[in-house]
Amino acid sequence: QSVLTQPPSVSGAPGQRVTISCTGSSSNIGAGYDVHWYQQLPGTAPKLLISGNSNRPSGVPDRFSGSKSGTSASLAISGLQAEDEADYYCQSYDSSLSAYVFGTGTKVTVL
Amino acid sequence: QLQLQESGPGLVKPSETLSLTCTVSGDSISSSRNYWGWIRQPPGKGLEWIGSFYYSGSTYYNPSLKSRVTKSVDTSKNQFSLKLSSVTAADTAIYYCVESSSSRFGCWGQGTLVTVSS
C-alpha cells in the first residue's frame, strides 16, 4: 500500500489544463523530502518528468510544471495534447519506512 | 548517453531465486557519482523501489524485501545484478534497472518481465 496518494484518473480536452495531486504525510513530503514526477507512456518504462519538486529535465516541455506545499505536491499539464495520455507517478522518500516511495499513479486521458 | 539494459530469465519457479543483470553503457559504475538500483512494477500496477547502491559506498534496500535481496557488481563488464530469493507469484513484475542521484531516478532500462510460475 502506497503512502503517497494520487487520484486514479484525470481527463481533459486538448488544450485544457489538468492537475494531479500527490498527498503524503509528515514522514515524507511534509518532512521536506523532494518530490519527483514520472510519465509512463503505454508499454514503456517511466521517464523522469519533474525533479526536485519543480525542475524540468532537459527536453521536457514547459507545459509540465510541478509544485509542493506542506504534505502535498502537484503536477500541472497545460495545453493538454494527445501525446500526454499516460500514467503519471509522484515519488519521494519516507523516513518512517526508510524507503523511496511512489504514488498510486494517475491515468491521464485526453478527451 | 547513459543507457541501461536488463537481462535474465523471464520465468522463475516458486521458491527459487530470481536473477537479473543490468548492463550499463555511457558511464562507469565504478567511477560514477550516481547510485544504481532496481524498481519493479507488477503488471497493471504501480511502482515499487527494490534497492539502490553506490559503488564505493552504501547499499540500501526496501525493508519489505531486504531479507530476500542481494546485489553484486562486475566492474569488468560494467554490470550490476539483482538476486531475489524465495520468490512467489507476488514477485511477478516488470523489473527495471535505474540510475539515480539526488533521490530521483533519472535513467531507466526498458524493463524485463519476470513471471513466477511452476
Question: Does any CB of chain A come closer than 8 Å to the CB of residue B17?
Answer: no
| A52 with B63: Cβ contact below 8 A | no
Query: What is the per-residue pLDDT across B52-81, written as a single tens digit (0 to 9) for each?
Result: 999 877 899 999 999 999 999 999 999 999
Label residue A1 by pLDDT band (50, 70, 90).
Answer: low
Question: Using CB atoms and an 8 Å cut-off, which of residues 39-98 of chain A contact chain B?
Answer: 44-48, 51-52, 57, 89, 91-93, 97-98
Residue A81 CA from chain centroid, whole number: 17
pLDDT tens digit string along A76-100?
A: 999 999 999 999 999 999 999 999 9
Contacts of B108 in chain A (CB under 8 A): 45-47
